[in-house]
Amino acid sequence: MRVTWTGAAHLSFRLDPEDEITGRASDEYPIKLAINSCSIRGVPEDAHPDLYAVAAWTVVAPWTRRRVTFDRAISAELAEALHAGWGVEAGPVGAERRRPGSRLAISYSGGADSVAAATMYPEAPFVHFRRVAHPRVPNRWPHYRSDVLAKLAAQTGRELTVVESDLEYTLAEPRPGYPEHHAVAAGALLLADALDIGGLGFGYEMGSRWLGGGRYLWRYTPDNPMWAPHGRWGRLFAAAGVHIVLPVGGVSEATTMRLALGSPLREQVRWCLRGVDGPCRNCGKCLYKELIQAAVERRPLNTPMKPEHPAVKKYLKKPPYGGQEMIQYGLARVPGIENTVFAPALDYFDVSEETTRWLDHCYPPALEEIPEPWRAQAAAFIEANVGLMTESEVRQVETWGSGATA
């Protein structure tokens, strides 16, 4: 793989003979290349070469097999992190490594998880990734209202940098999206010198960090390759002086929902990518989050969605589901759930408030993973607003997916 940056931040890349146009992201998901160029706007003209290298790697990693050649020399430490993590030869080598900045920034999406993470650090600046059209790839997902989400981010009143990028269109299949989950940070990486960033906070919660949620495994994953500090991405970001920080990595989506709805940013919370004046109430994300919100607020489910809707049909099938721990939490707590579209899923689980109570508390190892400069603040917030898991609750996390949990 050969990587070239031109102008402020236009990335183009050329595959080597051994590279393949259908690659695999770190979560093993197969993805197909659509186009070999993209732009990132809203970033400075210059940054440390390791920041350019990591930003490029978040895009090109899935398609790279044996080597990656950057257009400017990187540090030996960064080359080593690429070799240790992916087995690729990276170069040329010749730069001094970047010293971490002193500030934590939040990679802010506006969803409940990201709002909860932001609430823990009221002084942290936001970097918001906004999808824009690619000049040479047709937009097959026109209902994604990234303009609405950017506007809500601006209404938070926080220090904000909006990065506009078409990098998601480098993906032909399954749909436009981040080649690696970490590509959402490409702009934040290029801003790291200008904003003095030493840590980047993401809204990934316990399901994503520890329970193998999302689109890969449904089991306890202490060595999660994407988000563990000792995983390959954690080590790569750290080598570039931008530590991955998961402020809400130890709590469930029920807890991030509760924290977000109780935060000063409550009016700006938006997980739906489609709605304009509010959530659309008619997409899979809205249904899933409505279940969680109804459980948190102890009220009946309120959705116009019918059993025929494809997003509803998912729950007529056998588990596992994405975010299954939250489905169980909702089934156990939403009054009258047996009269809703989720009723069929009740047959698959034997749930109760007692067996889902662990999802109201924080998994302590998640706090230990937060780098030292930002740990005490997170721990104090968790102590005041959430509380730590008991030993038996910790066991629920650590046996997740083994058949030992409810």
**Closer to Zn ion by Cβ: residue 288 or 358:** 288
CB under 5 A: which stretch of 98-106, 173-181, 195-203, 269-277 binds Zn ion? 269-277
**Closer to Zn ion by Cβ: residue 59 or 272:** 272
Question: CA-to-CA distance for 387 and 258, rounded, in angstroms?
Answer: 13
Binding mask 219-258 for Zn ion (x = CB under 5 A): ----------------------------------------
Those residues with Cβ within 8 angstroms of residue 273's Cβ, 6 or more apart along the chain or in another chain: 143, 144, 145, 146, 149, 283, 285
Question: CA-to-CA distance for 298 and 359, rounded, in angstroms?
Answer: 15
Q: Is 194 in the site for Zn ion (CB under 5 A)?
A: no
Closest CA to 394 of 211, 212, 239: 211
Q: Is 174 helix (H, G, I), strand (E, B) or coil?
A: coil
**Closer to Zn ion by Cβ: residue 274 or 395:** 274
CB under 5 A: which stretch of 83-91, 220-228, 278-286, 365-373 binds Zn ion? 278-286
Tell me the site size for Zn ion, rule CB under 5 A. 6
Sequence length of the chain is 406
Question: CA-to-CA distance for 288 and 309, rounded, in angstroms?
Answer: 13
Per-residue tokens: 76 = 């030996």
Among 280, 343, 379, 388, binds Zn ion (CB under 5 A): 280
- Minimum CB–partner distance for residue 279 and Zn ion (Å): 5
Per-residue tokens: 284 = 């899979």
CB under 5 A: which stretch of 39-47, 151-159, 267-275, 353-361 binds Zn ion? 267-275
- Minimum CB–partner distance for residue 94 and Zn ion (Å): 48
Evaluate whether 199 touches 243 at the Cβ level (below 8 Å). Answer: yes
- Minimum CB–partner distance for residue 293 and Zn ion (Å): 13
Evaluate whether 193 touches 101 at the Cβ level (below 8 Å). Answer: yes
Radius of gyration for the alpha carbons in the chain, expressed in angstroms and rounded: 21
Q: Is 283 in the site for Zn ion (CB under 5 A)?
A: yes
Question: CA-to-CA distance for 354 and 332, rounded, in angstroms?
Answer: 9
Q: Estimate the share of the chain in helix, then strand, then coil, as percent rounded to the nearest 5.
A: 40, 15, 45
**Closer to Zn ion by Cβ: residue 147 or 338:** 147
**Closer to Zn ion by Cβ: residue 176 or 201:** 176
- Minimum CB–partner distance for residue 114 and Zn ion (Å): 16
Question: CA-to-CA distance for 349 and 278, rounded, in angstroms?
Answer: 32
**Closer to Zn ion by Cβ: residue 166 or 290:** 290
**Closer to Zn ion by Cβ: residue 55 or 112:** 112
Among 272, 341, 351, 359, binds Zn ion (CB under 5 A): 272
Q: Is 291 in the site for Zn ion (CB under 5 A)?
A: no
Q: Is 239 helix (H, G, I), strand (E, B) or coil?
A: helix
Phi, psi dihedrals of residue 372, rounded to the nearest 5°: -50, -45
Site for Zn ion, residues 327 to 346, rule: CB under 5 A: none
- Minimum CB–partner distance for residue 312 and Zn ion (Å): 13
Site residues (CB under 5 A) for Zn ion?
272, 274, 279-280, 283, 286
